[in-house]
């Protein structure tokens, strides 16, 4: 159990029937570094903390030992057991005690500070029941970002989602009135995965400019930023959560948007403002009673946001195939990826499809048995994408998506597809082509 009093975390630990109270001062350090403070002692004796109300006994055979460790965004309080006389070592996934807990507690570690509420609000509108006759395609007209032309300063095509929808309608795959329309995620919804401090920081033009990588946003007042930029991200996020619900009810779903895999609970970046992947999983767990979630992230960039959110979560399996030469190169988040597959710039069709297929086969052999697969289907893997820097053809992207949906079918798992990144004008057509191909191959049915 952990509470916070200003900059001191008060931790109450029960170990072998003995209760100990320990206070640890908040620290700022390099990601996942071993932190020393005035309240930590090193040497041949077990590591322990001195603080207000501290009563850890030096003479006990085994002691509960608390380390503050920075995750890069939040302070993690981790605990390990140390034998008398053992040399103190930094905590690792192997030597952490497996602590039971509630809320935002993960095996071996729990987040301290401003808590993240991991139980969705009872009155959330994100899990609404769509009107009769709708299909599991999720889209809202608010997805497209129109920001006085400033959106064109970023290479991302901020209107591709509307283009995808139009193509699917024009090709006769779906009708306008069949599309499931999501509600925007409210602050109460977002607090399921985000800290209040982070959400409050979005009132800063500087913060939003940094996340969206559009410098002129700095010059605009927050009410305009909220209406023209933040609100579309809220709709995308609501769309991902709704698509997760529909997938569990109908076997599959596509959010024609979402996939903001660089955002975690306490920080955004890389044009990712809200952690919609994490929220989709958490809502599904609490609202639908599932436990095992697999994230298949095939965007060209490493999915460091959801990886940080699910660090230490044994019921989350992350398969991530990405170009290791490009942003974000988050080596700490990589430790949370169950099946990392690193590519080099210029990787072409044959090698790409072979590695994706092999990774899926290995994941299948790991016997994880996911109940929900969240597929982050970025199209920035395409040739000539200046940010993705891979050399994958349109045909190979269609084959890739087939592989993932066929994998879900074999696993008997629901699958939700998010469209994620892609920085060329042809991305919308490729996404529409792939969805139509999945339908023609019988991997999705209407």
Active site residues: 262
Output b/e per residue, 268-277; b: 16+ Cβ within 10 A: bbbbbbbbbb
- What's the CA gap between 304 and 189, in Å, rounded? 22
Output b/e per residue, 42-58; b: 16+ Cβ within 10 A: eeeebbbbebeebebee
Q: Are 213 and 154 contacting, i.e. CB atoms less than 8 angstroms apart?
A: yes
Q: Are 283 and 245 contacting, i.e. CB atoms less than 8 angstroms apart?
A: yes
Instruction: Tell me the CA distances in angstroms from 377 to 13, 81, 212, 303, one per residue in order.
Output: 42, 41, 20, 12
Q: Are 70 and 35 contacting, i.e. CB atoms less than 8 angstroms apart?
A: yes
Q: What is the CA radius of gyration of the chain?
A: 23
Side-chain half-sphere exposure of 235, counting CA atoms within 13 A: 20
DSSP state of 130: P
Which residues are within 8 A (CB) of 356 and not within 5 positions of it... i.e. 6 or more apart?
A: 298, 321, 341, 400, 403, 404
| End-to-end Cα, the chain, rounded Å | 48
Sign, Cα dihedral of 86, 91, 95, 96: positive
Q: Are 254 and 415 contacting, i.e. CB atoms less than 8 angstroms apart?
A: no
Beta strands per DSSP E along 283-338: 293-297, 316-323
Q: Are 140 and 182 contacting, i.e. CB atoms less than 8 angstroms apart?
A: yes
């Amino acid at each position: 159990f952990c509470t916070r009093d200003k900059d001191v975390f008060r931790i109450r630990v029960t170990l072998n029937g003995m209760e100990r109270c320990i206070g640890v001062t908040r620290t700022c350090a390099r990601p996942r570094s071993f932190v020393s403070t005035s309240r930590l002692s090193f040497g041949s004796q077990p590591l322990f903390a001195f603080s207000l109300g501290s009563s850890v006994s030096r003479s006990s055979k085994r002691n509960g030992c608390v380390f503050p460790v920075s995750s890069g965004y939040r302070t993690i309080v981790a605990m390990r057991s140390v034998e008398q006389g053992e040399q103190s070592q930094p905590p690792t996934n192997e030597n952490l005690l497996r602590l039971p807990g509630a809320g935002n507690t993960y095996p071996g570690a729990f987040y301290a500070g401003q808590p993240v509420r991991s139980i969705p609000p009872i009155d959330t509108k994100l899990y609404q029941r769509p009107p009769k006759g709708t299909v599991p395609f999720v889209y809202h007209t608010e997805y497209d970002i129109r920001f006085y032309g400033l959106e064109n300063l970023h290479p991302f095509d901020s209107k591709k989602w509307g283009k995808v929808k139009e193509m699917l309608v024009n090709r006769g795959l779906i009708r306008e009135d069949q599309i499931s329309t999501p509600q925007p995620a409210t602050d109460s919804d977002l607090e399921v995965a985000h800290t209040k401090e982070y959400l409050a920081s979005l009132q800063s033009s500087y913060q939003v400019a940094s996340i969206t990588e559009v410098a002129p946003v700095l010059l605009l007042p927050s009410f305009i930023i909220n209406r023209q930029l933040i609100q579309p991200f809220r709709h995308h996020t609501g769309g991902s959560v709704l698509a997760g619900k529909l997938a569990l009810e109908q076997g599959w779903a596509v959010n024609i948007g979402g996939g903001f895999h660089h955002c975690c609970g306490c920080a955004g970046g890389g044009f990712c403002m809200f952690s919609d992947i994490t929220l989709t999983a958490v809502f599904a767990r609490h609202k639908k009673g599932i436990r095992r979630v697999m994230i298949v992230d095939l965007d060209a960039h490493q999915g460091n946001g959801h990886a940080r959110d699910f660090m230490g979560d044994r019921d989350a399996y992350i398969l991530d195939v990405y170009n290791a030469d490009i942003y974000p190169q988050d080596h700490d988040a990589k430790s949370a990826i169950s099946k990392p597959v690193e590519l080099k710039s210029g990787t072409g069709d044959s090698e790409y499809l072979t590695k994706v297929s092999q990774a899926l086969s290995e994941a299948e052999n790991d016997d994880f048995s996911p109940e929900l697969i969240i597929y982050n289907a970025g199209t920035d893997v395409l040739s000539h994408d200046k940010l993705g820097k891979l050399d994958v053809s349109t045909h190979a992207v269609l084959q890739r998506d087939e592989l993932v949906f066929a994998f879900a079918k074999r696993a008997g798992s629901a699958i939700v597809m998010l469209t994620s990144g892609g920085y060329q004008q042809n991305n919308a057509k490729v996404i529409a082509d792939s969805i139509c191909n999945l339908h023609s191959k019988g991997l999705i049915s209407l």
